[in-house]
Amino acid sequence: MPRQLIVYVDDKIYHQQNYDNSNNSGVQYNCNSSYLFFLITITLQHSSPSITISMIAENNHWGVAEFKLSINECLNGCNYCNSQECFNQELFLTLFNEKTFSVVKTEEGWQSGFVGVNEIGECYGFNYLKTSGGKLHNVFNLGQHEMISFQAKLLIFNSDSTKIYISVDDILVTTTNYIQKQLIFNGQICGYIQIQEINLLQYQHFSRSLEITISVDLKQYHQSPSFSTYIGLRDFQLFVKKGSVECYDWNIVPFDGCFSNIYDCVEGCGLCIKGICQDCLVGWEFEESSQSCIPICGDTLITQDEECDDGNLVAYDGCHKCKYSCPSNCRYCQFGKCLGCQNQHQILEGRCQFICDELEKTHYQENQDYHDFIILEGYQCRQDQFDDKFERFYFQQQKSLLNLNIRILEQQYNNSKFDYLDNCKVEQFGKCLECHAEYEFNFHKTKCIPKCQDGILIQEEVCDDGNRIQFDGCYKCLKSCQIECLFCSENKCYNCQNGWQLQDYQCKQICGDGQLAIFSNEQCDDPEDPNCTDCNYQCDNDCLICNQFQNCEICKHPFQMKNGKCLSICGDNIITPPFEQCDDGNDIPYDGCYDCQFKCSFGCIKCQKDNKCVQCDELNYILDTHTYICQAKQPNSDLEPKEEENNNDLVIISCNENQEFINYQCVNLCGNGILNSLFEQCDDGNNEGGDGCSALCFEEDSYKCINQNNSFSICNFVQQPNLELILLSEIQNQTKIIELGFSQDVYLLSYQYFEQIVEFTITPISQYQLSLLPIINITAQLNQPKYQISVQFLEPVTDPILQINIQQFSIYNYYDMQLKSNSKQLHLGTPFVLSKATQNRVNQVIKMNDAIVYSTVSIAGLLFVTGNYVVFFNLLDLLQSLSYIRYMEYKFPPHLSQFLETYTKISLQPILEILRVDELMTQLNGGTIPYLKKKSQKSNKTNGINQMYLMNAKGCYFSYFASLITYIICCLISSSKISDWVGYYFKKNEEKIKTLRLISIFQQKIQLQSSKLKNYYFSSGVFQLFYSTLQQQLFSTLLQFPEYSFNSIFEIINSVAALGSLLFLISIFVRLLSITTTEIKNKQKWKYFFQDSKTGFWAANFKPFQIYRSACYIIIITIFIEYPQAQSVLLSMQSFFYLHYLILVKPIKSNYEIAKLICREVILLIITGSFLVYSLELNHDQFMLYGWFHIALFCFLLVFTLTVDLLDSVQKTYYIHLKKRQTQERMKILQYYENPLQKFCYENKVDQQLKK
């Protein structure tokens, strides 16, 4: 009978299994008895210096053979580690680590209360420090350090479950729950002892005095009332991390390589080793000669002492060589902006433009389009420097011809205006368009730098070996050393890692030097170790790589590891003598080779090569010497033994089929446990029926036997598959969701479809709509099919019953057994169906709400087009927040449930349906809709709660893709090549006024807007996009966690994307506050976080708080999906705290946005808090009343938002109108500023024209 074996390691169960030794039952065991051997392998994480192993078995006759104990030590140079990492600490003190010890020194200092502890206890063959109570403490004197760790084994005697407290310097740092679990043993060992390992890792500590206190609340164990409770200690180890002095530079200057006696990076350095810079930050350039970083002028990043950086080397543009400079023809300026121009110049578009004559000055406003185009192209009238060429345009305006002189400058203007760019092949307007062959653009495309990794050493390149291989002496055109080098200078190594020899300024590994070189292929380097040959461990002859314990890690081909030995692989078509006689690559018996041994026809007991049998079973078979095949003997048909006499007076006796002559009589072989397939269907070793194999050796109904000739038959009871129906929705819901499945894996006949063989009926007769959705389709192959049935009742009905009928002889299981019952009923429960009047009223409210939503979205979209992105994204955030309320698992009234579905209409789903994204994902998932295990028992599988990550997050990825395409298009439109093409087209059509107007409109309306949008993308657009998709992205990510699977292509893509999204969101949330809490020099880069926000800490952090608020909102809904009451309480608390923040701080400059946010939080606070009423028992009228109340609150929130947006739009339109009028009046004043009398002349001329 089975016996149980339990293996304890430090009093914890790591192995517990039953072993069957029934073949030897009843045997008197002695040294010559036959034992069964079982292999037991246990692997666990363990860091204590000693280990206690206990084995307990039910059977007294057992033992242990070939016991092996192996450990994985910490890496060389590591004193303390676990399975994940090495802790850079030194072993300071070791106490009670020996298996046995006889003396406890007084200076070791352990005390229990105020009494020193020096008593030694003994148990399991080891000693321990024994106390008289439940507390131990000690004080240690340490040197200079910054971190400590310690571990020990705490022995608890005769105590029930309790808590263990660990304090450092009288501060409680950790509490451990101790659970009493005694050995499964008849009796007690050392009383009732439990071993508990305690440890404290990486605890920050600076004081030279360390006090450690270990205390246990001892509780008398109920099975040992006469034993005293106390604790013991052994295997104590204390580790410290010392704060050593690393360097001296005799100054307190930071960023010079050493600060406060600790290595520090120089200014601008991103990676340094012991104060020596290896790589610089963005905006800095590495200088090999001084091993320092210098700022890059012209990269648009302001660093160190740069006053400005406009990303170019153009002089007289306000910033030159990263210092403020006055623009060309400017008399005086401040911070690069001109405040006054020289004579005959005027500030236009921020630059001093030359005014050629009075006519151009007078009609500047009337020819604004042409003037803007001239400025954009860089052409100006410069009589003092260039030879001008004039062309004239004539056009009709207000029935008068006006002459406009447009100066077109030649290429010499461009050559004299801009500085010469080194190594540039094609240059235009001070910008390089193409570099020479050996050069390429830098990151910002502002200058040409030598190509690295081309094998050509030019200019400032220190080296160029033509590859990207690190640690080969040259990397990124800078000299480097090997990875084994600890200190490198000028491509020369001066200090190597442990085990590496320094020769010719290089680190080399030398086999036989007695030092193991880390990061090398040396496994060992000990000349005295017989198992170490050529610095590699040797063990099994068929082993390729062994470890230091002579255990094989990797076998030679074609062997494989099995039970620690390298054995041949049967079935690989490779014959490996002497282990294999043959190998035909299959497991088909009687084909000449089976289990890599010769095996011929059925009945053959001795087989040779080429499927030739040389000896058959003489009892039932005869060898055919021509075909070498065993042929069955022809049995006699008589029921009784026959006696015949031959000529020699010999008697021949023969029995019936499947009988054998034993003790002078014919005995039936059925029931002997040896199957003879010629006469028996099964043989289970008995002649009893009802166990699967009848008394006549035939298989019984509802049983399936596993049969193999000449062996014992095993019969199992097999049940027919059942049809299963599960109601997923609430019984009062108007729409019922039913899951249809089967109790076993089944298959469908290949020529049928499930929809053709199933019939649905509902009684009593009523109006309803029924749909069948396949989750996992039933096919001609075995699988576990599942379907969802949706039934929507259109009129009230009492206790409806769903009847499902499936055609017979259509669905079978693995054993070809059909369904136990082809019909089944399910009580759906009385649904809560709205009356026609109520439904009409709900439809009207939904239409009104849709109108409000669409109007609000239209206004926000109009503001988005005009540049007001904040209103649009805040509205999008509001609609998203409202759409997730439907996932609160309350029993909402039907009209409220219908109303909440309206907030999902503003989505990308129509576009995704056109692109057929769902169909693509279904195909990747093998033709079925991908879904998760139920996150909610009340939701159907097509609900977002039970869908996979990609199905929920597809809209996010579409948004990312669309925004990236938009950015690329804007970059193309605003590129220099398009500008050159427009300039060329302008010159080609100089006399076509309409064409010039179209070109001007393209430049001002399209190209300029594209340039603005391109610049806006990375300063604000990316963050706005992240915030708008945050709720959907986080919702999808949390629903998938932690159910990751890799069984198909879709599941692999889905799991990798979900894990990546989780890591991305965590990194964003961790770093979010650092954007606004640290000093930002370039706020334009982080414009999104400072735009429209007030100053001050709490106000400046409004955008991070807003992101955290949305994240917490989604986390509460997903984490507490099964607890709607908890959702209500937490969501209302969140709204309350956020509302408190908005009212006190008022972080936004816009009063309209503040009002909308406050209103939203107040409404959400009331709604989420009052949802608790749906947890109560309500009658029909109360149920409907509360539903209308919540619908009214939702409508009020949207109406208020729409009203505020309208007021904001009207006010902004009015301000724009006022600003336009002020600009017109200012231009009129500037037009006649130098000659006021001209104004009267012009007005008199206009009056005369009006009189005529």
**What angle is formed at CA 245 by the lines to CA 242 and CA 250, rounded to 5 degrees?**
165
User: In DSSP terms, which residues pair with 119 in a beta bridge?
Assistant: 130
Three-state DSSP state, 1157: helix
The DSSP letter of residue 327 is P
What's the topology of domain 723-833?
A: Immunoglobulin-like (2.60.40)
Report the C-alpha dihedral over residues 455, 458, 461, 467, rounded to 10 degrees.
-10
Quickly list DSSP for 925-986. Answer: TTSS--BPSPS-TTS-TTSGGGB-HHHHHHHHHHHHHHHHHHHHHHHHHTSHHHHHHHHHHH
Q: Cα separation of 78 and 86, whole Å?
A: 6
**Average pLDDT taken over every residue of the chain:** 77
pLDDT band at 360 (very low <50, low <70, confident <90, very high): very low
Maximal C-alpha separation, the chain: 162
- Please tell me the distance from the alpha carbon of residue 182 to that of residue 589, in angstroms, as a whole number: 51
CA gap 928, 13 in Å, rounded: 43
Please state, in angstroms and rounded to a whole number, the distance separating the CA atoms of residues 212 and 222.
31
Region of residue 573 (phi > 0: left; psi between -120 and 50: alpha; otherwise: beta): left
695-732 confidence digits (pLDDT tens)? 888 888 778 888 888 888 888 888 888 999 988 887 77
Residue 572: closest CA among 552, 587, 590: 587
**Best-predicted range by mean pLDDT (196-200, 264-268, 269-273, 529-533):** 196-200
What average pLDDT does this structure show over 776-789? 87
Q: How far apart are CA 982 and CA 176, in angstroms?
A: 75
pLDDT category at 167 given cuts 50, 70, 90 is very high
Determine the Cα–Cα distance for residues 1237 and 1244; give it in Å rounded to an integer: 11
CA 838 to chain centre: 47
Backbone angles phi, psi at 278, to 5 degrees: -115, -30
Tokens of 256: 């010079």
The answer to whether residues 7 and 14 touch, using CB atoms and an 8 Å cutoff, is yes
**Average of pLDDT values for 1077-1104?**
68
Residues 856, 861, 864, 870, CA torsion sign: positive
- Segment (H or E) for 1183: helix 1180-1231
Beta strands 86-87 and 592-594, pairing class: unpaired
Please check whether residue 869 is in contact with residue 1024, taking contact to mean a CB–CB distance below 8 angstroms: yes
pLDDT in tens, 505-561: 888 888 888 888 876 777 788 877 766 777 877 676 778 777 666 677 778 877 877
Residue with tokens 């009046």: 1225
Pairing relationship of beta strands 651-654 and 642-645 according to DSSP bridges: antiparallel
d(CA 1038, CA 1036): 6
Helices 1151-1170/869-883 angle, 10° precision: 0
What does the domain layout of the chain look like in residue ranges? 88-97+111-241, 592-632, 723-833, 848-906+1072-1252, 908-1052
The DSSP code for 460 is: T
Beta bridge partners of 565: 562
Tell me: the pLDDT tens digits for 1149-1188? 788 888 988 998 999 999 999 999 888 888 878 888 888 8
Lowest mean pLDDT, pick from 263-277, 378-392, 1038-1052, 1090-1104: 378-392
User: In this structure, are residues 1007 and 974 in contact, taking their beta carbons and an 8 Å threshold?
Assistant: yes
Contact (CB, 8 A) for 147 and 205:
yes
Q: What is the dihedral of CA 659, 662, 667, 670, to 10 degrees?
A: -70
> Can you tell me which residue has the tokens 């690329």?
968
- Output the DSSP codes for 1023-1047: HHHHHHHHHHHHHHHHHHTT----S
- Euclidean distance between CA atoms 246 and 501, whole angstroms: 24
Q: Which of 742, 767, 772, 738 is CA-nearest to residue 755?
A: 772
CA-to-CA distance for 777 and 760, rounded, in angstroms?
18
Residue 358, SS3?
helix
Residue 934 · residue 889 · CB < 8 Å: no
Residue 1220 burial (CB count, 10 A): 10
Mapped to the 3 state alphabet, what secondary structure does 1134-1156 carry?
HHHHHHHHHHHHCCECCHHHHHH
Count of CB atoms within 10 A of residue 863's CB? 19
The closest of 1112, 1104, 1106 to 1077, measured between CA atoms, is 1104
Q: Which two three-digit tokens encode residue 816?
A: 């070809």
- Least confident range of 361-365, 542-546, 966-970, 1101-1105: 361-365
**Residue 1130: is its pLDDT beyond 90?**
yes
> Which letter does DSSP use for residue 693 in this model?
B
What is the average per-residue pLDDT within 662-673?
Answer: 77
Model confidence band, residue 651 (pLDDT cutoffs 50, 70, 90): low
Tokens matching residue 955: 């809209």
Give the Cα separation of 629 and 610 in Å (integer): 12
Range of weakest confidence among 235-244, 880-889, 1073-1082, 1152-1161: 1073-1082
Phi-psi region of 571 (alpha: psi -120 to 50; beta: other; left: phi over 0): left
Fold of the domain built from segment(s) 88-97+111-241: Jelly Rolls (2.60.120)
Does residue 246 have a pLDDT over 60?
Answer: no
Confidence of residue 652 (pLDDT cuts 50, 70, 90): low
CA distance 373 to 982: 11
pLDDT, tens digit, for every residue of 382-402? 333 333 333 333 333 333 333
The Cα–Cα gap between 50 and 526 comes to 27
Distance CA 480, CA 478 (A): 6
Weakest mean pLDDT among 17-26, 163-172, 744-753: 17-26
Q: Nearest-CA neighbor of 1162 among 1174, 1152, 1170, 1172?
A: 1170
Question: What is the Cα–Cα distance from 1182 to 704, expressed in whole angstroms?
Answer: 59
Report the alpha-carbon angle 284-288-293, nearest 5. Answer: 25
Look at 1141 and 664; give whichever has higher pLDDT.
1141
Give the end-to-end CA distance of the chain in Å, rounded to a whole number: 127
CB 770 within 8 A of CB 803: no
Extract the tokens encoding 50: 């000693």
- Contact (Cβ atoms closer than 8 angstroms) between residue 947 and residue 930: yes
The alpha carbon dihedral of 1114, 1120, 1122, 1123 has a sign of negative
Taking the CA atoms of residue 535, residue 539, residue 544 and residue 548 in that order, the dihedral angle to the nearest 10 degrees is -50
pTM score, two decimals?
0.42
Residue type present at position 457: L
State both tokens at 1042. 């932690």
Give the angle 899-936-825 at the CA atoms, nearest 5°: 90
C-alpha–C-alpha distance, residues 634 and 690, integer Å? 32
Residue 637 has pLDDT above 60, yes or no: no
Q: Cβ distance 353 to 346 under 8 Å?
A: yes
CA 1071 to chain CA centroid, Å, is 17
Looking at residue 1166, what is its pLDDT?
93
Give the other-Cβ count within 10 Å of 271's Cβ: 10
